[in-house]
Structure 1
């Protein structure tokens, strides 16, 4: 019997993958502690595991002995500059509490998950501290950057997974693989036969519900505007991003007339401004430099620039400061900010944006449902969702991809047979 604890448990993605792996290997397990501070996530956790996980890890002291520590811990900078970058440097962060429990109970195995940026976070000091802490506590470890799309999920999600073992270096056969850079590259690789993984590629179309509730449909007005811009062919929505700060495969607020209908010249002005404001001759500001009328005249070819600028200022598509003009950018004005391509994979789910991912499917322009988001993370359809959609979207944006944990744990257990002896 392997006894484990589930820290920063969220809705139990790590636990679910861990238990699935052990079940397939015929190994019994028991969760002796679940810890999560988000009360809404705790409701979902309890609905699925029968346990109230509410627990403030910073106040946790008395814990039974356990064999495995699971933690999808938050990424926080360590503030002590110029020190040894060890255990004491983690004080004031949540990783300190993870380390404190490892130090106290000395489990045989620790599996930690975090965002891929952990490696470079705080100029590399955060990861260096974590490595030194684990080493000081007597652990050897390996880490992998893995993309969920390589493990039977229709989502481009790269995360770091750390496997720490007491006293000896763990053997992992899973290779680092961050996958395709985006959904377009994934689709090209798929079409050209360049994907070589033991898991069959799952696409967005494979996780879609056939007839979800009408409440997930986009508004009639928004759909009409999209239909007009795409000249009646809504299949062109596949892979489209709705954003004002970039060009490419995008639809903009001025194309849709969200702040007021735009003339042909106004749309061309905006398209030219977005295409030219990043050019080095105008400066190197990452988000695009505000330009003067004289600078805009170098690429806007018509003689109606004064009336165009005046009209766009009035509609608030552009703003002016000290004689310089720039976009009033942002994507919060769109009901959907990205339409997924059914024949590719999803962009990474996030807690803030999962509710505004869209799809054109079965003749409907709609948002992804919470169940579809759950499927993108590898949660089974038997998994009970939070009754409030807003909570469910947030929870699956924060979740850990279940099949990745399952594959990682099986790899650890199979290739490290002496782990619990």
Structure 2
């Protein structure tokens, strides 16, 4: 059996490694991780339990890389994320990319696979990605960037990430096709974006749900009763509902639920208009943080008792008064669940900050998704050992990769690399592998 060696940098809990090993195995190729690096202690624990290998810590303390053929790295994404400050290489975490190039100079493998958030693609009007491309190409590698959505690779999650791949001294053509996928989790139609993962069927959230998870994941009776009141006991209407105080649309707000005290019809109407109008440029350029005076509020909510209504909302802590200006006090972190996924659709993106607050109405229970369900959304097999602390497990899974996507990318990179270096793959095994992922019968 042919054998390839790889290095796993910024390894996290080992998602990229797992996917790469699966890809190699599918191609009847043996793989060996010769070095892994992860600075977070909790992630190191999970990595060791699953791969029986202790990771090195801070990448900055690694002098050089051992001999290997493939370099894998999910380098820190906060600097390029829409959820972060998007400071890029100004941010210390952003400069960690240059630790990769430093190590590339100590040993140049045949190929690399990097994963990051989609914000990297357009950060600083494309200049950040151009810098990365230049650093890679001047070291003799081809450079390809793909925006891929997990929903197109057999996972019920609307998750777009950028995958950077390249091969040393070669200019291959990859079969992968960039596609951002659906605008939201309710308008998904599967596309064939890779030879290895064409759509076999529409996978939905229902496919990853546990039948009878622990009761500790159930929402509180107070929260459930408030939802029942809003929806007249028809909790099927929860599917796809989000709970957030800074947006309108298909949303439930804390004042609708009465979480801080029951609100009158007038108070609810004022709050709904408030969050709609405060985004109007008429009141300033700040998209979400505008504070409005009573006079400004009166321009869109005329009521003889406006002052009393505002005082009541301040007392109940739905509004906060700052220098004679009002702002909503509650955000989506004030809810037990911030979004209810629809079992018949795909999920919103799993992210580290609130993966523990995705909800579902399933089997007559209003509950949060479990860590195992979150792992399934990412394509982790059920025998993958998660962190014993649920909150840490959720956080790690939100930071990890979608196994199916990385596996598809890795299969193509491995094949193109071996072809470009004049190596031979067992073509009969490759045919079986392709048939397997295509869902065809290989018994004949």
Relative to the length of structure 2, the TM-score reads: 0.87
1:330 aligns with 2:325: no
Q: CA deviation at 1:227?
A: 1.0
1:249-328 map, 5 Å: 249-287=250-288, 289-328=290-329
Partners of 1:91 and 1:385 lie apart in 2 by 26
Aligned in 2, Cα 1:253/1:151: closer, same or farther, shift over 3 Å? same
Secondary structure, counterpart of 1:407 in structure 2: helix
1:146-196 CA-partner distances (Å, limit 9, x unpaired): 00010000111111101111111132111001100111222xxx4xxx755
Aligned in 2, Cα 1:420/1:101: closer, same or farther, shift over 3 Å? farther
Alignment partner, residue 222 of structure 2: 221
Alignment partner, residue 60 of structure 2: 58
Partners of 2:356 and 2:378 lie apart in 1 by 14
Q: Is the 8 A contact 1:171 1:412 kept in 2?
A: no
Alignment partner, residue 373 of structure 2: 372
Q: Is the 8 A contact 2:76 2:94 kept in 1?
A: no
**Structure 1: segments with no counterpart, 5+ residues:** 81-89
Q: CA deviation at 1:288?
A: 5.8
Partners of 1:92 and 1:397 lie apart in 2 by 19
Alignment partner, residue 396 of structure 1: 397
1:137 aligns with 2:148: no
Alignment partner, residue 441 of structure 2: none
Partners of 1:141 and 1:297 lie apart in 2 by 56
Relative to the length of structure 1, the TM-score reads: 0.92
Partners of 2:337 and 2:191 lie apart in 1 by 30
Partners of 1:344 and 1:216 lie apart in 2 by 21
Aligned in 2, Cα 1:260/1:238: closer, same or farther, shift over 3 Å? same
Secondary structure, counterpart of 1:32 in structure 2: strand
1:209 aligns with 2:210: yes
Q: CA deviation at 1:123?
A: 4.2
Alignment partner, residue 78 of structure 1: 89
1:341-393 CA-partner distances (Å, limit 9, x unpaired): 11111111111100011101000010010000000000011111111111111
Aligned in 2, Cα 1:275/1:418: closer, same or farther, shift over 3 Å? same
Q: Is the 8 A contact 1:378 1:401 kept in 2?
A: yes
Secondary structure, counterpart of 1:104 in structure 2: coil
Q: CA deviation at 1:301?
A: 4.1
Aligned in 2, Cα 1:79/1:309: closer, same or farther, shift over 3 Å? closer
Partners of 2:300 and 2:115 lie apart in 1 by 48
Partners of 1:183 and 1:135 lie apart in 2 by 36
Aligned in 2, Cα 1:4/1:109: closer, same or farther, shift over 3 Å? same
Aligned in 2, Cα 1:63/1:278: closer, same or farther, shift over 3 Å? closer
Question: Runs of 4 or more off by more than 6 Å in structure 1?
Answer: none
Alignment partner, residue 426 of structure 2: none
* Alpha-carbon RMSD: 1.9
Partners of 2:268 and 2:368 lie apart in 1 by 27
